[in-house]
Amino acid sequence: MNSSNDRWVIVSGAGGALGSVITDHYANLGHQVLALDRHFDPARPIIKKITARTLDLLLEQEVRQTLADALKGAGISLLVNAVGLICNEPVLTMRGAKFTTHSIATWRQAIDANLTAPFVVATEVAALMARRGGGAIVNFSSIASEGNAGQAAYSAAKAGIEGLTRAMAAELGPLDVRVNAVALGFIDVATTKAAVAEAKLQQYAAQTPLGRLGHTDDVIGAIEFLAANRFVNGVTVKVDGGIRL
């Protein structure tokens, strides 16, 4: 994707460990980048070319207004829809002699963060892309989309993302808006380390045929491929080193 001053890159979840790396990557390539999230680390410097906006990505009117105010009619090359939240909770947990069931509050939080917020951002951005010369959307899924024990809500949300990606790709392709996804394995970033114990991460690295966790460059490479290839639409690319849970 060539640098352009009048077609923006948008990153949702840009305040997160992976989203911030992606945001900086495209800004360093010379793109104007609109970074969207609920929260940004105040200690993190915002480099030139990045416009950061704090908002609730579940609120479509707030997303719509933020896009209008920041872009001021400019076109959009790419949306990297990286908003999400790793969620671990079993369907049933034994507490003493009784089973405790999965919290509905946790379920809603996982679905909101990993499916509803990406849907809101993708639909609002797609509407602008369709009016302003097309563009590419890359959603974030996970290898948990195939169903991972202990991650019922997260798995359901990520499976939903892959279905949403295929549906949007079929609908928006005639408008020159391509929609694809990356299904991430275990990536070596702070959020992964916060959600998975170090010993378990080392076990997953050993299970991976490549013998390591993923790097942020591995993720960026997949995004760049999906952004650049104009005949790839409606696919989910696994970026997982070949691991199978």
Q: What is the tens place of the pLDDT at every residue in 79-137? A: 999 999 999 999 999 888 899 999 999 999 999 999 999 999 999 999 999 999 999 99
Catalytic status, residue 204: no
**Confidence at 244, pLDDT banded by 50, 70, 90:** confident
Q: Strand locations in the chain, DSSP E?
A: 7-12, 33-37, 50-54, 75-81, 92-95, 98-101, 135-142, 177-184, 236-239
Asked whether the CA dihedral 13, 18, 20, 24 is positive or negative, the reply is: negative
**The pLDDT value given to residue 213:** 96
What whole-number distance in Å separates Cα of residue 190 and Cα of residue 42? 17
**The pLDDT value given to residue 85:** 94
* CATH class of the structural domain 7-239: alpha beta
pTM of the predicted model, to two decimals? 0.94
Q: What is the tens place of the pLDDT at every residue in 156-212? A: 999 999 999 999 999 999 999 999 999 999 999 999 999 999 999 999 999 999 999
Max alpha carbon distance in the chain (Å)?
Answer: 63
Options 8, 26, 40, 154, the catalytic residue: 154
Q: Output 245 or 96, whichever has higher pLDDT.
A: 96
**The pLDDT value given to residue 46:** 76
**The pLDDT value given to residue 6:** 67
What whole-number distance in Å separates Cα of residue 62 and Cα of residue 47? 24
